[in-house]
Chains A and B, each alone.
Chain A
Amino acid sequence: MQKMPIWADVILIPFVSLLLAALLSAAVIVGIGEDPQAALKLMISGALGSTYGWGYTLYYATNFIFTGLAVSVAFHAKLFNIGGEGQAMLGGLGIALIALYIPWPHWSVALIGCTIGAALLGAAWAYIPAILQAKRGSHIVITTIMFNFIAFALLNYLLVNVLRPAGSMDPATASFPEATNLPTLHMLLEPFGIKFSKAAPANISLVVALLAAVFVWFLIWRTRLGYEIRAFGHSESGARYAGINPVRITVVTMMVSGALAGMMSLNTTMGEGERLVLNSTEGAGFIGIAVALMGRSHPVGVVVASVLFGFLYQGGAELALWTSIPRDLIVVIQALVILFTGALDNMVRMPLERLFLMFGRKEG
């Protein structure tokens, strides 16, 4: 039975949830003795008022598109991949190894090579929890959390003891060769006569992220595998009855998810840092959860939610710079978005459904 029209489910509910999150965030700002209106104004001018601001907003958004897509793909199979953070770290490792040890003639081929490396290691890191879930029934949420910590320890070990160049103190690899440096939006847009800030880190990974979004849409809604993933997510027993192999679907879905999370590091490691540092992921793996929930696990929704979170990130950085509001405000907003669009979904949904049923009956 359709209780609500589709537009209410896709647009109205996320909007109401978001509004609640925004209101509470404003209350938090008031609570710490600041002016929410002024804060919002500062965030908008800082994040969207210049191509410099946009450059950062889109840079952050690129990360979130990758991790949001990763979480979304897993959600379609009713798997909760909370390990995007660790998979992205391993993706960064793949990029570093390929960029450092293979002499690339041009960034375009290096980008293809590094994408494959990032996707492979990200997928490999998701493979173990996936196979343990499928064959041994170990809860994937717990194993992926554990794998985040293991990834951090592994990366910490490799950066401190193996990959760190001699004489350097900080746990990071050497800078990648110049031929692997990705063009920024400034360089990409210049031939078209569009002036874009030189200092902003947004780069061609954004295009890769958008292509990945198209790929996910095609995979989930236009292929046999995507159909199987959705069927499996809808009802495991039903899917099994229809001849869908649950082990195969769990493993393949998680590997696609891990590959997407791993590719996030294209943006941070290859595009911005041009070397691998320890904390390059900066929690983007977890923001993927908020983005996927808000975007209703649809690539279009994920892209929109990612830009919104990119705006929050850049705006939050501006706030920390010009006011006494710490950057941690973003973490609170992120928590509220996850809370309202995810955990408290029914709190928003139930009254709205009742409203629609009431008015629907009158019309009928």
Chain B
Amino acid sequence: MTTAHPKPQVPINSIRVTEKAAGKVREFATRDGKDVFGLKVAVKGGGCSGLTYVLEIVDGPEDDDKVIEQNGISVYVPKKAFVFLAGTVLDFSDGLNGKGFEFTNPNAKTNCGCGTSFSV
């Protein structure tokens, strides 16, 4: 596990999807033939540190999802997961050593080595 680094400032009642991450989501959705879509961002139990991120391209929100518009895409966050994600930045890192989608989560006390799970 590694100690989390200082986080970019994002309103605590929201999460931010960078332009680069939003572009990648659109690219994946287009490749899947989806004209209407949203990005589900959630958290589930598991991973080395206890909680692990969930990313999924979906057709629309579910009843208890919080809906956030970011850089031209709709982001759906289940309310139960939002308490773990408030203030998070979702970015995309490409290239040979890139990690793909990357979360910077101010609620995370620790992150696992591969960056896909965290503890609060």
A and B interact physically: no
